[in-house]
């Protein structure tokens, strides 16, 4: 099945397709491109995306929303594509691993085919998970990774690796203009409270004075990038010279243990929560930090927002959301 969507033409602007546009990162990207005067066609199947993430854009005549799964062919009259569709949180992408693999592989194929037919540039939201549980630290783009092809994370890790290969081959075989961002852990407003990732879990738990669930002993590390910084990186990468076709790491190189993150969240919320230890998920990477020298050199990009400042904004968002949910519950009781 395929759909034909035409978006009215405004000469000064590009018509941009954003798959996964109702998700956490996608909604910020929609907003930023609209603010720059572009037209945005958001395609989403709402598996993890939410209407509330994009509701404020609905009155903008340059914004269109189509509910569609990218596993099916997408036909759209657009000038550029950002492919962000795929659940990013481990519990969500592991809930239906076959669909996750199809999204990553068939979705990428469908969008690359659209890019080939229209002769347009296409951006892929790849991931630091292509490095798996890395033996090289920090991770440069040249590292091939240490990925289990046969485990609970494989549908995501191997799916994203396969998508990168498809991008490479469409460029090589059909001269499609490709841009691949390897995104490291990113957080900020519009994550789902039930997203399951560490930043949203810890903040929601802290705001409700519930136990903070540390998986393993909390010594594993991640490097957390605030969403605004990441979107700056997306835009710079997409605008880069067509010769830049290799994957580019985008993330904040300041590394924290999961325990340090929990302690910061408790400090910033003034929570009475206690830290509790839970089993470490299978194949959970022990350490992760991007080497961003390529992004700095080629794009002039470095993240600006310190973890404390980004956490403050994210805490404020979740505080507002939980207060609103509590009010709505009281009204219906």
Q: What are the catalytic residues?
A: 156
Q: Minimal distance in Å, beta carbon 256 to ligand NAD?
A: 14
Does the N-terminal peptide bond of residue 138 adopt cis geometry, omega within 30 degrees of 0? yes
Q: Minimal distance in Å, beta carbon 23 to ligand NAD?
A: 2
Question: Which residue from 24, 67, 75 is spatially nearest to 42, judged by alpha carbons?
Answer: 67
Q: Minimal distance in Å, beta carbon 64 to ligand UDP?
A: 31
Backbone angles phi, psi at 15, to 5 degrees: -100, 115
Cβ-based neighbour number of residue 31 at 10 Å: 20
| Part in contact with ligand NAD (CB under 6 A); list of ranges 78-86, 112-120, 209-217, 291-299 | 78-86
Which 3-state string (H, E, C) describes 135-186?
Answer: CCCCECCCCCCECCCCCCCHHHHHHHHHHHHHHHHHHHHHCCCEEEEEECCE
Cα–Cα distance between 218 and 244 in angstroms, integer? 37
Question: Which residue from 48, 41, 32, 152 is spatially nearest to 97, judged by alpha carbons?
Answer: 152
Among 127, 154, 201, 314, binds ligand NAD (CB under 6 A): 127
User: Could you say which residues in the range 128-157 bind ligand NAD, by CB under 6 A?
Assistant: none
In residues, how long is the chain? 333
77 touching ligand UDP, by CB under 6 A: no
Name the E strands within the chain: 4-6, 15-19, 39-44, 63-67, 75-77, 80-83, 121-127, 178-183, 186-187, 212-215, 221-223, 225-226, 248-250, 255-257, 275-278
Q: Minimal distance in Å, beta carbon 193 to ligand UDP?
A: 12
Of 198 and 206, CB closest to ligand NAD: 198
Q: Minimal distance in Å, beta carbon 293 to ligand UDP?
A: 22
Q: How many residues bind ligand UDP (CB under 6 A)?
A: 14
185 touching ligand NAD, by CB under 6 A: yes
Among 30, 45, 138, 307, binds ligand NAD (CB under 6 A): 45
Of 103 and 271, CB closest to ligand NAD: 103
Among 281, 313, 319, 322, binds ligand UDP (CB under 6 A): 281
290 touching ligand UDP, by CB under 6 A: no
290 touching ligand NAD, by CB under 6 A: no
- Whole-angstrom Cα Rg for the chain: 19
Binding mask 148-187 for ligand UDP (x = CB under 6 A): -------------------------------------x--
125 touching ligand NAD, by CB under 6 A: yes
Question: What is the token pair recorded at 262?
Answer: 């929990």
| 228, 305 contact by CB (below 8 A) | yes
Could you say which of ligand UDP, ligand NAD, none residue 289 binds, taking C-beta under 5 to 8 angstroms by partner kind?
none
Of 107 and 271, CB closest to ligand NAD: 107
Of 194 and 267, CB closest to ligand UDP: 194
Binding mask 189-228 for ligand UDP (x = CB under 6 A): --------xx--x-----------xxx----x-x------
Exposure of 312 by Cβ count < 10 A (0-12 exposed, 13-18 middle, 19+ buried)? middle
Cα–Cα distance between 192 and 322 in angstroms, integer? 11
CA dihedral 305, 308, 314, 318 (to 10 degrees): 180
The residues binding ligand UDP (CB under 6 A) are 89-90, 185, 197-198, 201, 213-215, 220, 222, 258, 281, 284
């Amino acid at each position: 099945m395929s759909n034909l969507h035409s978006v009215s033409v405004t000469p000064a602007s590009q018509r941009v397709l954003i798959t996964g546009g109702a998700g956490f990162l996608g909604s910020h990207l929609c907003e930023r491109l609209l603010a720059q005067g572009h037209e945005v066609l958001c395609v989403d199947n709402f598996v993890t995306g939410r209407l509330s993430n994009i509701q404020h854009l609905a009155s903008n005549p340059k914004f269109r929303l189509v509910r569609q799964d990218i596993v099916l062919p997408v036909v759209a009259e657009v000038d550029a594509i950002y492919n962000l569709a795929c659940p990013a949180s481990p519990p969500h992408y592991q809930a239906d691993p076959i669909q996750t693999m199809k999204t990553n592989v068939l979705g990428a194929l469908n969008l690359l085919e659209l890019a080939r037919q229209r002769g347009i540039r296409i951006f892929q939201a790849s991931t630091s998970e292509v490095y798996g549980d890395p033996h090289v630290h920090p991770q440069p783009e040249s590292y091939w990774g240490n990925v289990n092809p046969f485990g609970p994370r494989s549908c995501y890790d191997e799916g994203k690796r396969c998508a990168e290969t498809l991008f490479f081959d469409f460029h090589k075989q059909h001269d499609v203009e490709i841009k691949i961002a390897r995104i490291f852990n990113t957080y900020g407003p519009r994550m789902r409270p039930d997203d399951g990732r560490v930043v949203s879990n810890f903040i929601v738990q802290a705001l409700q004075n519930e136990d903070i669930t540390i998986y393993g002993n909390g010594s594993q590390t991640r490097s957390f990038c605030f969403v605004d910084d990441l979107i700056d990186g997306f835009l710079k990468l997409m605008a880069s010279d067509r010769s830049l076709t290799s994957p580019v790491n985008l993330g904040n190189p300041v590394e924290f243990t999961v325990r340090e993150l929990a302690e910061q969240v408790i400090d910033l919320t003034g929570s009475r929560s206690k830290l509790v230890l839970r089993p470490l998920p299978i194949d959970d990477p022990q350490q992760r930090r991007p080497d961003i020298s390529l992004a700095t050199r080629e794009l002039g990009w470095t993240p600006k927002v310190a973890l404390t400042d980004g956490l403050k904004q994210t805490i404020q968002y979740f505080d507002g959301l939980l207060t609103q949910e509590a009010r709505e519950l009281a009204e219906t009781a």
